């Protein structure tokens, strides 16, 4: 590596950084008035170019010492012989540059370029935001740049970013679109993958783009020659989550689900991950790249790009009371911000290379989710259902609702995962489940994805804050609201009759509340009518002025 400086006088200075003995180097002067520019030439020598004057044309040459002198003459400068490339040890090279004022300047501005695929997705937007906050240069892929409103939102994810977000078009179904996307990139975080909101008509709709898209991205990474590591977003479904999973065990990164036992989404994630591991394993030594995989559970948390995800649909349906009951579903939940942080840690940590990483916090029943949301939003005009739906009614509903049909095989089942690696290797301390749910709900309301009620007060305006129910630091939460560590799951041992009874009691309670409200409104109307009648009576009984005069 060399730092090349072009002074106002035209002086060209070159200082070697690379520890490999070289007799020539590549120089590129780019048409830009100021700033540092990184470029990779055919020689694979990285250059940091500082420009102090406007160069009106681009010069791109492979230079030996003689050519460097010639270039210096052409730019009205002097080539410093003491900076020319020569055979020297790594220690001598380091010593030569250690005292140079250009060293700190290059380190401060030589930001690493990271590619995030599917940058507009729920998880990917948080990854992009966190990368920008940490000072990385970020390039994101989208399927189309024509959606100006969406592009604008992505560009504004991190207003204080040192480097503006770069967006390029790339599609999982178009292999040729990925080579330009990975050019000059050091790390790739491959998040893009089709995700269903309802059961697809054909499994191939999910499986084909997931598998072939992953292979296309990896091939482009190898061809680029600049990519060091790829972080792939997989799923807990590839480990042990789905109709065929063993609910009696706690799954670890060593476990794999058999694809034929999974639904279409689970198959797509499992087969895509397997394809990635197989591809990297078969690469020749000269083309080797590192692979790390993130296997997140059910991802929830604040939406920052204004678009819906499968998990946000769950919260939306609860707040809008789409149905009077909740399904008896259990979710191994994790906060989207923890998932994003895990990707970035897996991108750089040595211990993460060549490994899978389960990212999960706690197991939560849907009824518990509903209870948390109800406590926060009931006083703000949202009537969240909190009673479990009886099995027969849920089954009947699934005949007409494809979304419910998709989750029917998971009713009543608990899938447990070991998150030791997440905590010990990636050093991720998960968010509280309660905060994850409440912040997700507020983000959906603020984004206009859930309608605001007349009583809506905004973030922090729930009953819990008003009544001072916030717990002291370190104090646990009682009852169903307490998030449980993964694997420590409360068994719901109520039978069908109990659930029906519970549902009827809640419906009865709600009807009583409605009757009370109606009765209250009726009494107020009667009082108002009574006042009006009294007023009219008083007016009639008052003597007229003429009569008083007489």
CB under 8 Å to 145, separation ≥6 — which residues?
151, 167, 168, 169
Q: What is the pLDDT of residue 245?
A: 85
Picking from 229, 336, 346, 333, the residue whose alpha carbon sits closest to that of residue 280 is 229
Please tell me what DSSP assigns to residue 174.
Answer: B
Sequential pLDDT tens for the chain (550 residues) = 444 544 444 444 444 444 333 323 333 333 232 333 333 332 322 333 333 332 322 333 334 455 555 554 444 444 444 333 333 344 444 444 444 444 433 443 368 999 999 999 999 999 999 999 999 999 999 999 998 889 999 999 999 999 999 999 999 999 999 999 999 999 999 999 876 655 667 788 889 999 999 999 999 999 999 999 999 999 999 999 877 788 999 999 999 998 888 888 889 999 999 999 999 999 999 999 999 999 999 999 999 987 778 889 999 999 999 989 999 999 999 999 999 999 999 999 999 999 999 999 999 999 999 999 999 999 999 999 999 988 888 888 888 887 788 788 888 999 999 999 999 999 999 999 999 999 999 999 999 999 999 999 999 887 654 444 444 444 444 444 444 555 444 444 444 454 445 555 555 555 555 555 555 555 655 556 665 666 555 554 554 444 433 3
CB under 8 Å to 356, separation ≥6 — which residues?
234, 239, 253, 293, 295
CA atoms within 13 A on the CB side of 182: 27
Terminal-to-terminal C-alpha distance of the chain: 115
The position carrying tokens 């009865």 is: 508
Picking from 141, 298, 295, 273, the residue whose alpha carbon sits closest to that of residue 215 is 273
The C-alpha atoms of residue 180 and residue 170 are separated, in whole angstroms, by 9
- pTM comes to 0.68
Q: Which of 183, 186, 267, 269 is catalytic?
A: 269
Q: Quick one: tokens of 44?
A: 């694979």
Active site residue 269: yes
Q: What is the pLDDT of residue 499?
A: 46
Q: What pairs with residue 28 in β-bridges?
A: 60
Helix 366-377 / helix 433-446 crossing angle, nearest 10 deg: 60
- For residues 228 and 291, the answer to whether their CB atoms sit within 8 Å is no
Q: Is 5 exposed, middle or buried (0-12, 13-18, 19+ CB in 10 A)?
A: buried
Q: How far is C-alpha 397 from the geometric centre of its chain's CA atoms?
A: 32
CA atoms within 13 A on the CB side of 252: 4
- For residues 138 and 166, the answer to whether their CB atoms sit within 8 Å is yes
How many Cβ atoms are within 10 Å of 270's Cβ, its own excluded?
Answer: 25
The C-alpha atoms of residue 465 and residue 453 are separated, in whole angstroms, by 19
Domains, the chain: 2-109 (no CATH), 113-468+478-485 (3.40.50.720)
Cα distances from 47 to residues 42, 55, 68, 141, in angstroms, run: 12, 17, 15, 26
The C-alpha atoms of residue 50 and residue 547 are separated, in whole angstroms, by 103
């Amino acid at each position: 590596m060399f730092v090349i400086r072009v002074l106002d006088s035209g002086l060209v200075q070159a200082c070697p950084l690379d520890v490999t003995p070289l007799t020539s180097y590549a120089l590129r002067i780019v048409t830009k008035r100021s700033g540092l520019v990184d470029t990779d030439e055919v020689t694979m020598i990285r250059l940091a170019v500082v420009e102090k004057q406007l160069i009106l044309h681009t010069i791109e040459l492979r230079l030996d010492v003689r050519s460097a002198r010639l270039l210096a003459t052409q730019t009205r400068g002097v080539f410093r012989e003491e900076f020319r490339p020569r055979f020297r040890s790594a220690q001598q090279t380091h010593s030569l540059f250690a005292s140079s004022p250009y060293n700190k300047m290059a380190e401060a501005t030589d930001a690493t370029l990271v590619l995030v695929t599917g940058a507009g997705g729920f998880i990917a937007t948080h990854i992009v935001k966190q990368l920008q906050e940490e000072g990385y240069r970020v390039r994101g892929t989208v399927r189309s740049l024509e959606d100006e409103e969406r592009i604008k939102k992505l560009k504004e994810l991190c207003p204080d970013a040192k480097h503006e977000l770069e967006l390029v078009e790339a599609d999982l179904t178009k292999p040729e679109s990925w080579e330009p996307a990975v050019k000059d990139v050091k790390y790739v975080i491959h998040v893009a993958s089709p995700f269903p909101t309802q059961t697809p008509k054909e499994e191939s709709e999910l499986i084909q783009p997931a598998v072939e898209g992953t292979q296309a991205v990896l091939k482009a990474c190898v061809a680029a020659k600049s990519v060091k590591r790829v972080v792939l977003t997989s799923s807990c479904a590839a480990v042990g989550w789905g109709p065929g999973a063993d609910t009696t065990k706690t799954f670890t990164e060593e476990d794999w689900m058999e694809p034929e036992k999974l639904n279409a989404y689970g198959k797509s994630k499992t087969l895509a991950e397997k394809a990635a591991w197989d591809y990297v394993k078969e690469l020749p030594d000269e083309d080797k790249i590192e692979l790390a995989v993130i296997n997140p559970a059910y991802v929830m948390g604040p939406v920052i790009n204004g678009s819906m995800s499968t998990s946000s649909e769950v919260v939306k349906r609860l707040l809008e009371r789409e149905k009077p009951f909740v399904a008896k579903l259990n979710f191994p939940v994790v906060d989207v911000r923890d998932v994003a942080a895990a990707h970035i840690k897996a991108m750089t940590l040595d211990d993460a290379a060549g490994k899978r990483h389960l990212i999960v916090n706690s197991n939560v029943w849907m009824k518990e989710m509903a209870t948390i949301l109800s406590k926060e939003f009931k006083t703000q005009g949202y009537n969240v259902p909190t009673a479990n739906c009886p099995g027969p009614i849920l089954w009947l509903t699934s005949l007409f609702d494809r979304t419910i049909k998709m989750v029917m095989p998971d009713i009543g089942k608990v899938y447990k995962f070991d998150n030791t690696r997440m905590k010990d290797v990636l050093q991720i301390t998960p968010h509280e489940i309660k905060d994850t749910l409440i912040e997700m709900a507020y983000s959906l309301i603020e984004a206009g994805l859930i309608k605001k009620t007349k009583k809506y007060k905004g973030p922090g305006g729930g009953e819990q804050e008003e009544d001072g129910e916030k717990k002291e630091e370190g104090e646990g939460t009682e009852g169903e609201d307490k998030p449980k560590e993964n694997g420590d799951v409360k068994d719901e041992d109520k039978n069908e009759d109990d659930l029906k009874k519970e549902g009827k009691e809640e419906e009865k309670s709600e009807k009583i509340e409605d009757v009370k409200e109606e009765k209250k409104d009726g009494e107020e109307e009667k009082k108002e009518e009574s006042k009006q009648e009294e007023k009219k009576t008083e007016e009639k009984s008052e003597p007229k002025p003429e009569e008083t005069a007489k």
